[in-house]
Amino acid sequence: MSRKVFEALCWASSFLEEHEREANAGEWLLRHVLSVSRSKLLASMHDLLTEDQNEEFISLVKQHAAGIPVQHLIGEEEFYGRRFIVNEHVLIPRPETEELIWNTLEMTKWLAAKKEPLTMADIGTGSGAIAVTMKLEWPELTVYASDLSEKALETARKNSQHLQADVHFMQGDLLSPFIENEVKLDILLSNPPYIPLGDKETLSPVVAEHEPELALYGGEDGLDLYRRFSEQLPAVLKPEAFVGFEVGAGQGQAVADLMQLAFPQASIKVKYDLNGKDRMVFMKI
């Protein structure tokens, strides 16, 4: 059975709402099936879908209703105006992380005025979104990206190749590869796992069941990785350096306190995102 684009979208919206999913996910999925832009989709509301297109669309909508993230179904997500490959091995890039990038680019101007060239690392890179974006936005940077997961690094490498960003990849636990290779950093960024283990039951199944646990949970209070950072950072930072962390809402001051203990002379700020949540901690030494 064939049907028009608007009929398919109406069905998808109702079906997804019944299954407590975002109604507009149907639009993303149909754009993927038809390989069209949003404006092209809106202009083709009365066009007929082929039988194959209709069947593929129904299948994708049902998979999303069952909990599979839209981004995994279409294989990509937009971040800072670019399309990144995503899959079950990496965290799906979030809009909040774009704010981490924007703030860091502003601070990079301060560092660049003092010295060149600058070396940066993205720790727990996942899809490579932070590392690749920083390299493309500030090409003079020497950029490293590390992850404990080899599968995540494979995805990050694909994104760096696809987007033509020259990033150096290292496999290892947190800052260990940098300490072992005596790499010193001007800029360190990380969006580490920060969800407390006790919050696992309250997470959406789309996140809890389909995104990698390694990238989600940060111990009993969510702060385990930041504690380890505070211990390891002195070994990798240059005398003048900048550190930026993404944190869970409500964790900003706790992370700032951990960093202040490790770097008593540092200037540390908790920054709020566009939704008014404390989602970033920045340290300048």
- The pLDDT score that the predictor gives to residue 222 is 75
Q: List alpha helices for the chain, DSSP H.
A: 5-18, 25-34, 38-43, 51-65, 70-74, 95-114, 129-137, 150-162, 176-180, 205-208, 224-232, 252-262
What share of residues in the chain are helix, strand, coil (percent, to 5)?
45, 20, 35
The closest of 268, 223, 261 to 241, measured between CA atoms, is 268
- The pLDDT score that the predictor gives to residue 262 is 94
- The pLDDT score that the predictor gives to residue 203 is 56
Binding residues: 124-128, 147, 191-194
Q: How many CA atoms lie within 13 A of 14 on its CB side?
A: 5
Task: Please name the residues in contact with 181: beta carbons below 8 A apart, sequence gap of 6 or more.
Answer: 170
pTM value surpassing 0.85:
yes
CB-CB contact of 218 with 225 (8 Å) = yes
Binding residues for substrate: 191-194
CB-CB contact of 136 with 111 (8 Å) = no
- The pLDDT score that the predictor gives to residue 71 is 93
Binding residues for S-adenosyl-L-methionine: 124-128, 147, 191
The answer to whether the bond into 117 is cis (omega within 30° of 0) is: yes
Going residue by residue through the chain, which has 285 residues, state the pLDDT in tens, using 9 for 90 and above: 679 999 999 999 999 999 989 889 999 999 999 999 999 999 999 999 999 999 999 999 999 999 889 999 999 999 999 999 999 899 899 888 999 999 999 988 888 887 778 999 999 999 999 999 999 999 999 999 999 999 999 999 999 999 999 999 999 999 999 999 999 999 999 998 766 666 556 656 655 555 566 555 566 677 889 999 999 999 999 999 999 999 988 899 999 999 999 999 999 999 999 889 999 999 999
